[in-house]
Amino acid sequence: SQTIHQWPATLVQPVGSPLSLECTVEGTSNPNLYWYRQAAGRGLQLLFYSVGIGQISSEVPQNLSASRPQDRQFILSSKKLLLSDSGFYLCAWGGGANYGYTFGSGTRLTVV
């Protein structure tokens, strides 16, 4: 069966520090992968998605970047965090009308 792993679960980082969040998927190959952010009053905002290794599409200009170094690995990064980067970050894989996406358990990032 397919599973998605996301870590860490919580993270407190100072302003200006770097960020690396990792997401891996098991039990499937060449998945579509997504990073979303849930911030107060903004719902689930799509940040990046990837349809293959090295292929990244960015939806909004921001202080973040994403990479897909391996087929089932998706990384969200920042060189210098801002206070506005605080939120709940979710990785997801999949797609299609019958089952939609499978989300990871999320990372609560607090920038202080």
Partner 1 sequence: DQQVKQNSPSLSVQEGRISILNCDYTNSMFDYFLWYKKYPAEGPTFLISISSIKDKNEDGRFTVFLNKSAKHLSLHIVPSQPGDSAVYFCAGGHDQAGTALIFGKGTTLSVSS
In angstroms, what is the minimal distance from the CB of 16 to partner 1? 26
Q: Which amino acid is at 26?
A: E
In angstroms, what is the minimal distance from the CB of 78 to partner 1? 20
In angstroms, what is the minimal distance from the CB of 80 to partner 1? 26
- Concatenate the DSSP letters of all residues of 11-38 into one string: EEE-TT--EEEEEEEES-SS--EEEEEE
The answer to whether residue 99 forms part of the interface with partner 1 (CB under 8 A) is yes
Nearest to 68 by CA among 82, 84, 55: 55
Residue 83 dihedral angles phi and psi, to the nearest 5°:
-55, -35
In angstroms, what is the minimal distance from the CB of 39 to partner 1? 10
The answer to whether residue 7 forms part of the interface with partner 1 (CB under 8 A) is no
> Which position among 49, 68, 78, 87 is part of the footprint of partner 1 (CB under 8 A)?
49
Compare residues 57 and 79 and give the one whose CB is closer to partner 1. Answer: 57
Task: Quote the Cα angle for 35-23-91, to 5°.
Answer: 30
* Alpha carbons 67 and 48: distance in angstroms, whole number: 9
Residue span binding partner 1 (CB under 8 A) among the ranges 11-19, 62-70, 76-84, 97-105: 97-105
The answer to whether residue 93 forms part of the interface with partner 1 (CB under 8 A) is no
